[in-house]
Chain A
Protein backbone atom coordinates (compact mmCIF):
# COMPACT_ATOMS: atom_id res chain seq x y z
CA UNK A 1 0.00 0.00 0.00
CA UNK A 2 0.89 3.65 -0.17
CA UNK A 3 2.94 5.13 2.65
CA UNK A 4 5.15 8.05 3.62
CA UNK A 5 8.25 7.78 5.79
CA UNK A 6 9.40 10.95 7.38
CA UNK A 7 12.51 11.95 9.28
CA UNK A 8 12.13 11.50 13.01
CA UNK A 9 12.15 14.63 15.09
CA UNK A 10 12.26 16.78 16.94
CA UNK A 11 14.65 19.07 15.10
CA UNK A 12 16.12 22.11 16.84
CA UNK A 13 18.00 24.72 14.83
CA UNK A 14 19.41 28.16 15.42
CA UNK A 15 17.94 31.05 13.47
CA UNK A 16 19.38 31.37 9.92
CA UNK A 17 20.49 27.71 9.87
CA UNK A 18 19.84 25.45 6.88
CA UNK A 19 16.90 23.07 7.17
CA UNK A 20 16.41 19.65 5.62
CA UNK A 21 13.55 17.33 6.55
CA UNK A 22 13.70 14.00 4.76
CA UNK A 23 10.66 12.32 3.25
CA UNK A 24 10.46 9.14 1.20
CA UNK A 25 7.37 7.47 -0.14
CA UNK A 26 6.01 4.17 -1.38
CA UNK A 27 3.27 4.24 -3.99
CA UNK A 28 1.96 1.90 -6.66
CA UNK A 29 1.22 4.60 -9.21
CA UNK A 30 2.19 8.22 -9.78
CA UNK A 31 1.33 10.16 -6.66
CA UNK A 32 1.15 13.87 -6.02
CA UNK A 33 3.34 14.95 -3.11
CA UNK A 34 2.75 17.67 -0.53
CA UNK A 35 4.25 19.34 2.49
CA UNK A 36 1.81 20.64 5.10
CA UNK A 37 2.68 22.75 8.15
CA UNK A 38 0.81 22.84 11.45
CA UNK A 39 1.40 25.68 13.89
CA UNK A 40 0.51 25.12 17.56
CA UNK A 41 -3.22 24.87 18.15
CA UNK A 42 -4.10 25.22 14.48
CA UNK A 43 -5.15 23.14 11.50
CA UNK A 44 -2.88 22.15 8.62
CA UNK A 45 -1.76 24.58 5.96
CA UNK A 46 -0.56 23.50 2.55
CA UNK A 47 3.05 24.64 2.24
CA UNK A 48 3.95 23.35 -1.22
CA UNK A 49 3.19 20.61 -3.71
CA UNK A 50 4.57 18.73 -6.71
CA UNK A 51 2.45 16.63 -9.03
CA UNK A 52 4.99 14.87 -11.25
CA UNK A 53 8.59 13.71 -11.32
CA UNK A 54 11.24 16.46 -11.29
CA UNK A 55 8.69 19.12 -10.32
CA UNK A 56 9.93 21.54 -7.67
CA UNK A 57 7.41 22.99 -5.25
CA UNK A 58 8.31 26.21 -3.46
CA UNK A 59 6.69 28.66 -1.07
CA UNK A 60 7.88 31.10 1.63
CA UNK A 61 11.52 30.12 1.05
CA UNK A 62 10.81 26.39 1.39
CA UNK A 63 11.52 24.03 -1.51
CA UNK A 64 11.08 20.35 -2.28
CA UNK A 65 11.81 18.40 -5.47
CA UNK A 66 9.88 15.29 -6.55
CA UNK A 67 12.55 12.64 -7.13
CA UNK A 68 11.04 9.52 -8.68
CA UNK A 69 14.35 7.67 -8.88
CA UNK A 70 14.88 7.92 -5.11
CA UNK A 71 11.14 8.13 -4.22
CA UNK A 72 11.90 11.21 -2.16
CA UNK A 73 10.48 14.69 -1.54
CA UNK A 74 12.84 16.32 0.97
CA UNK A 75 11.93 19.73 2.38
CA UNK A 76 14.64 22.41 2.46
CA UNK A 77 14.99 26.02 3.52
CA UNK A 78 18.19 28.01 3.33
CA UNK A 79 17.69 30.19 6.41
CA UNK A 80 15.07 29.35 9.02
CA UNK A 81 13.36 31.88 11.26
CA UNK A 82 11.81 31.54 14.71
CA UNK A 83 8.41 31.86 13.06
CA UNK A 84 9.07 28.60 11.14
CA UNK A 85 8.74 26.63 14.39
CA UNK A 86 5.92 24.16 13.72
CA UNK A 87 5.21 20.54 12.83
CA UNK A 88 5.82 19.61 9.19
CA UNK A 89 3.97 16.74 7.51
CA UNK A 90 4.91 15.10 4.23
CA UNK A 91 1.91 13.64 2.42
CA UNK A 92 0.88 11.97 -0.82
CA UNK A 93 -2.22 11.24 -2.77
CA UNK A 94 -2.46 8.73 -5.56
CA UNK A 95 -3.60 9.79 -9.00
CA UNK A 96 -7.34 9.30 -9.16
CA UNK A 97 -7.71 8.93 -5.40
CA UNK A 98 -9.13 11.18 -2.72
CA UNK A 99 -7.09 9.74 0.12
CA UNK A 100 -4.26 11.84 1.55
CA UNK A 101 -1.59 9.74 3.33
CA UNK A 102 0.50 11.55 5.93
CA UNK A 103 3.94 10.91 7.34
CA UNK A 104 4.39 10.97 11.10
CA UNK A 105 5.34 14.66 11.20
CA UNK A 106 8.56 16.40 12.20
CA UNK A 107 8.54 19.03 14.92
CA UNK A 108 10.88 21.92 14.17
CA UNK A 109 11.96 24.38 16.82
CA UNK A 110 14.03 27.39 15.79
CA UNK A 111 15.83 29.24 18.58
CA UNK A 112 17.01 32.85 18.35
Chain B
Protein backbone atom coordinates (compact mmCIF):
# COMPACT_ATOMS: atom_id res chain seq x y z
CA UNK B 1 0.00 0.00 0.00
CA UNK B 2 1.72 3.16 -1.21
CA UNK B 3 -1.24 5.48 -0.99
CA UNK B 4 -2.03 8.62 0.89
CA UNK B 5 -5.80 8.97 1.05
CA UNK B 6 -7.47 12.35 1.46
CA UNK B 7 -11.13 13.03 2.14
CA UNK B 8 -13.21 14.72 0.95
CA UNK B 9 -12.06 15.26 -2.63
CA UNK B 10 -14.12 18.43 -2.95
CA UNK B 11 -15.45 20.76 -0.26
CA UNK B 12 -17.52 23.94 -0.48
CA UNK B 13 -17.90 25.87 2.75
CA UNK B 14 -19.20 29.21 3.89
CA UNK B 15 -17.08 31.70 5.76
CA UNK B 16 -18.80 30.90 9.06
CA UNK B 17 -18.57 27.11 8.73
CA UNK B 18 -16.29 24.70 10.54
CA UNK B 19 -15.04 21.74 8.54
CA UNK B 20 -12.15 19.26 8.63
CA UNK B 21 -9.93 17.72 6.00
CA UNK B 22 -8.67 14.20 6.64
CA UNK B 23 -5.57 12.35 5.52
CA UNK B 24 -4.56 8.73 6.12
CA UNK B 25 -1.51 6.64 5.25
CA UNK B 26 -0.55 3.07 6.10
CA UNK B 27 3.05 3.08 4.92
CA UNK B 28 4.50 3.42 8.41
CA UNK B 29 5.70 6.92 7.62
CA UNK B 30 6.49 9.06 10.65
CA UNK B 31 6.37 12.49 8.97
CA UNK B 32 3.17 14.01 7.61
CA UNK B 33 2.60 17.31 5.86
CA UNK B 34 -0.06 19.76 4.80
CA UNK B 35 0.52 21.84 1.67
CA UNK B 36 -1.63 24.50 0.03
CA UNK B 37 -1.57 24.89 -3.74
CA UNK B 38 -3.14 27.78 -5.63
CA UNK B 39 -3.84 27.48 -9.35
CA UNK B 40 -0.71 27.44 -11.51
CA UNK B 41 1.55 27.72 -8.46
CA UNK B 42 3.79 25.23 -6.65
CA UNK B 43 2.67 23.71 -3.36
CA UNK B 44 3.40 25.84 -0.29
CA UNK B 45 4.23 24.10 2.95
CA UNK B 46 1.83 24.77 5.83
CA UNK B 47 2.61 22.25 8.58
CA UNK B 48 4.90 19.29 9.26
CA UNK B 49 4.36 16.63 11.89
CA UNK B 50 7.27 14.43 12.82
CA UNK B 51 6.57 11.48 15.15
CA UNK B 52 3.10 12.97 15.79
CA UNK B 53 4.55 16.25 17.03
CA UNK B 54 4.20 19.54 15.17
CA UNK B 55 7.70 20.39 13.98
CA UNK B 56 7.09 23.09 11.37
CA UNK B 57 4.38 25.74 11.19
CA UNK B 58 5.01 28.11 8.31
CA UNK B 59 3.26 31.10 9.91
CA UNK B 60 -0.16 29.81 8.89
CA UNK B 61 -3.20 31.82 10.13
CA UNK B 62 -4.94 30.36 13.18
CA UNK B 63 -8.10 29.69 11.18
CA UNK B 64 -6.18 26.58 10.03
CA UNK B 65 -5.61 24.13 12.88
CA UNK B 66 -3.72 20.87 12.29
CA UNK B 67 -4.08 17.73 14.37
CA UNK B 68 -2.21 14.42 14.28
CA UNK B 69 -4.22 11.90 16.36
CA UNK B 70 -1.84 9.01 15.59
CA UNK B 71 0.95 8.04 13.23
CA UNK B 72 -1.46 7.20 10.39
CA UNK B 73 -3.87 10.12 10.52
CA UNK B 74 -3.59 13.83 9.93
CA UNK B 75 -6.44 16.33 10.09
CA UNK B 76 -6.73 19.98 9.14
CA UNK B 77 -9.52 21.82 10.95
CA UNK B 78 -10.91 24.86 9.16
CA UNK B 79 -12.84 27.73 10.75
CA UNK B 80 -13.85 31.18 9.56
CA UNK B 81 -12.01 30.88 6.28
CA UNK B 82 -11.82 33.60 3.65
CA UNK B 83 -12.48 33.27 -0.09
CA UNK B 84 -8.73 33.64 -0.73
CA UNK B 85 -8.22 30.38 1.16
CA UNK B 86 -9.82 28.53 -1.73
CA UNK B 87 -7.15 26.17 -3.07
CA UNK B 88 -6.09 22.55 -3.44
CA UNK B 89 -4.96 21.20 -0.07
CA UNK B 90 -2.44 18.40 -0.32
CA UNK B 91 -1.41 15.95 2.33
CA UNK B 92 1.87 14.07 2.11
CA UNK B 93 3.81 11.58 4.16
CA UNK B 94 7.37 10.31 4.28
CA UNK B 95 9.85 8.41 6.31
CA UNK B 96 11.71 11.04 8.25
CA UNK B 97 14.08 12.97 5.92
CA UNK B 98 13.19 11.11 2.71
CA UNK B 99 10.94 11.66 -0.33
CA UNK B 100 7.32 12.58 0.30
CA UNK B 101 4.29 10.80 -1.15
CA UNK B 102 1.25 12.92 -1.87
CA UNK B 103 -2.47 12.35 -1.75
CA UNK B 104 -4.85 13.44 -4.50
CA UNK B 105 -5.80 16.56 -2.60
CA UNK B 106 -8.97 18.25 -1.41
CA UNK B 107 -10.22 21.04 -3.62
CA UNK B 108 -11.63 23.62 -1.23
CA UNK B 109 -13.93 26.46 -2.25
CA UNK B 110 -14.86 29.12 0.31
CA UNK B 111 -17.99 31.06 -0.54
Spell out A's residues near B (CB within 8 Å). Answer: 32, 34, 36, 42-46, 49, 89, 93, 95-100, 102-105
Contact = CB atoms under 8 A, between A and B. Distances in A.
B66 interface: no
A103 B90 CA distance: 16
Interface residues of B, number: 26
Contact of B99 (A49, A97, A104): A49
A62 to B, nearest CB: 15
A-B CB proximity, top 9 nearest: A102-B42, A43-B102, A44-B102, A43-B104, A43-B105, A98-B48, A98-B31, A105-B42, A43-B103
A96 B4 CA distance: 23
A97 B98 CA distance: 9
Contacts of A102: 42-43
B16 interface: no
Contact of A89 (B4, B42, B103, B104): B42
A34 B99 contact: yes
Contacts of B42: 89, 102-105
Contacts of B45: 99-100
A95 B4 CA distance: 23
A99 B97 contact: no
A106 B103 CA distance: 20
A46 B31 CA distance: 16
A82 B33 CA distance: 32
